[in-house]
Amino acid sequence: MKYLILFSLVLGGLAAEAAPVKLLSPDTAQTFAIAWLVDHQFTWNAHTGQFCVDLRFSERSATKWSAEESFRFVFPEVKFDETNRTFYVATDQEQPIPVAQLRKGWLGSTIVPAPGTSVLIANEGGKVRLVLTADRNPKRRPSSVWVERSDAWVLQNLVPAITGSN
């Protein structure tokens, strides 16, 4: 009996060490070839049930004029639990992985990333793709929620790894 309890504890520990979930947004955007990310935020459209990431880029040219563009990236796999006010990703495991939480404030509600959530913003010559990573393991918590990369190698190596294509 002791061995059965020990075995179940080991299996439970392995289940808790589940790998992080990586979601590639089906949306892409084309912005300026040399663009700076000036704003980012999570948004929720309650009417359509869509969890989104809104980005704003600016072209800071040498002139006094600058142009800005805004884009919305949808993550259809992220769902909302109204009872807990939590955004989550369902997995094959029993418990969903939290992505963010809706918090009430003085001026309305804001969406705050959950510990272990990060967003990779890959900008290759103006073509923008997003990868959302959620991990329930606090030891693997990212140092920053918003990570911007504009190197060509990011998409070449990351997209096939997530989508399983070459």
Query: What percent of the chain has pLDDT above 70?
Result: 71
- Please tell me the predicted confidence (pLDDT) of residue 1: 40
Q: Which range marks the domain in which residue 133 is found?
A: 20-163
Residue 12 lies in a domain: no
Q: Residues 33-53: pLDDT tens digits?
A: 677 788 999 999 989 999 999
Q: What angle is formed at CA 143 by the lines to CA 139 and CA 149, rounded to 5 degrees? A: 130
Tokens found for residue 76: 């259809």
Provide the domain count of the chain. Answer: 1
Residue 10 lies in a domain: no
- Please tell me the predicted confidence (pLDDT) of residue 33: 67
Residue 2 lies in a domain: no
Tokens found for residue 48: 């359509």
Q: What is the mean pLDDT of residues 87-116?
A: 88
- Please tell me the predicted confidence (pLDDT) of residue 40: 93
Q: Residues 48-90: pLDDT tens digits?
A: 999 999 999 887 665 566 788 899 999 999 999 999 999 999 8
Residue 104 lies in a domain: yes
Q: What is the mean pLDDT of the chain?
A: 78
